[in-house]
Amino acid sequence: MKITVFGSGYVGLVTGACLAEVGNQVLCMDVDQRKIDQLKQGIIPIYEPGLDEMVKDNVAAGRLSFTTDVKEAVDFGLFQFIAVGTPPDEDGSADLKYVLAVAKSIAEHMSDYKIVVDKSTVPVGTADKVKQAIKDVLAERSQELEFDVVSNPEFLKEGSALDDFMKPDRIIIGTDNPRTAELLKALYAPFNRSRERVITMDIRSAELTKYAANAMLATKISFMNELANLAERLGADIENVRHGIGSDSRIGYSFIYPGCGYGGSCFPKDVKALERTARDYGYQAELLSAVENVNDRQKHRLFEKVSTHYPNGVKGKTFALWGLAFKPNTDDMREAPSRVLLEALIDAGATVRAYDPEAMEEAHRIYGDKAGLVYCAKQADTLSDVDALIIVTEWKQFRSPDFDDLSRLLKDKVIFDGRNMYEPRLVKQFGLQYYAIGR
């Protein structure tokens, strides 16, 4: 099949590459000329394990191509995927200007039947707005052309997006047209061979499903962080509690790891957007407000622990910081807890020696030559002439450090662990003080 994908960011590029991988012809369109030029040269603008090889292989095979020409993109595909950003507006709602701009562009250039697929995470009712935008432009052109608008939300986890797309848990198709549902089923047939993964429903239910999934996962994280803060006050160990409740099949172990807060491009934005949608429809979603409030507070917990340990302040202190990305296996620092901590430490007069396996370039882009921030090329470089170590992202390479070395190199012999990576009794055997979350 011929497929056009508008947007060559995280969702668009993964979607385009995976659809090409199973034999389709895919054209990715983006207004950013520099990004398109880089993609044509095989330079991938984001870090996602395996994505660079998949893109290069499918470009070489002639199944995946890139353009900045809107008319070429609209003419190309029966399926017109919209995978552009929906950044949070000032009031927390999702900004649909890019989505609606694409819809209008499709309408301006289409000459035959198109299936417009909302892949971006969008509020309930967006498909209606996309449909109306297309109708309005077609009316201005005095054209009567058939089209359908479909909600097909993505469920991609950064760091395992290719597996999530190629071996999905579910494929949600929201449409009011049975014929269109069959066409989408045919498109996704290669990803649906071992068992039935396609779930069809009405459009508004599909739009809500995406927000509901992210809000549920965010709720589990905030709930565990709330319990972790209580465990510290009660003298309990939240890791024991986690094992105890995770063994209940009704709860499970996924997303019940306490820490220093969630970040990324999805959870913070989507929880706020869903809460805003509820308000727009006259409903006060108190739980959603609490989930986000708990998470905002949790991002300050590490700095609070550092401040408690240093009652005279951290001015003049130097900290090794392991982890900048909001989670492992990505270079994404959007809404990352590391940013809250790093900025608080530097504002308080401390120096931060930071390292992340993938996010160093992104940190440079965000902070430039920020005073008080030292970019370290290697993990070991962070430990040069430092007072304490702080861990923010649970990269695998941080799991088994040489505690003898840490005890020798850390002047104040203290570790602040925002991801509960170590066993407290083990760390203390090396003469190190250890602060974790809920322990």
Q: Which residues of the chain have pLDDT under 70?
A: none
Q: What is the 3-state secondary structure (H, E, C) of the chain?
A: CEEEEECCCHHHHHHHHHHHHCCCEEEEECCCHHHHHHHHCCCCCCCCCCHHHHHHHHHHCCCEEEECCHHHHHHHCCEEEECCCCCECCCCCECCHHHHHHHHHHHHHCCCCEEEEECCCCCCCHHHHHHHHHHHHHHHCCCCCCEEEEECCCCCCCCCHHHHHHCCCCEEEECCCHHHHHHHHHHCHHHCCCCCCEEEECHHHHHHHHHHHHHHHHHHHHHHHHHHHHHHHHCCCHHHHHHHHHCCCCCCCCCCCCCCCCCCCCHHHHHHHHHHHHHHCCCCCHHHHHHHHHHHHHCCHHHHHHHHHCCCCCCCCEEEEECCCCCCCCCCCCCCHHHHHHHHHHHCCCEEEEECCCCHHHHHHHHCCCCCEEECCCCHHHHCCCCEEEECCCCHHHCCCCHHHHHHHCCCCEEEECCCCCCHHHHHCCCCEEECCCC
- Residue 277: per-residue pLDDT: 93
Residue of 6, 2, 3 lying closest to 36 (CA atoms): 6
- Residue 195: per-residue pLDDT: 84
Q: Cβ(166)–Cβ(146) under 8 Å?
A: no
- Residue 93: per-residue pLDDT: 79
- Residue 253: per-residue pLDDT: 95
- Residue 92: per-residue pLDDT: 75
Q: Which residues are catalytic?
A: 266
Q: How far is the C-alpha of 135 from the C-alpha of 142, rounded, in Å? A: 10
Q: How far is the C-alpha of 145 from the C-alpha of 428, rounded, in Å? A: 71
- Residue 88: per-residue pLDDT: 80
Q: Which two tokens mark 51?
A: 């994505």
Average pLDDT, the chain: 96
pTM score, whole prediction: 0.92
Q: How far is the C-alpha of 233 from the C-alpha of 256, rounded, in Å? A: 19
Which tens digits make up the pLDDT trace of 200-243? 999 999 999 999 999 999 999 999 999 999 999 999 999 999 99
Q: Cβ(210)–Cβ(153) under 8 Å?
A: yes
Handedness of CA 11, 16, 17, 19 (dihedral sign): positive
Beta bridge partners of 421: none
- Residue 87: per-residue pLDDT: 83
On the 0-12 / 13-18 / 19+ scale of CB atoms within 10 A, 3 is buried
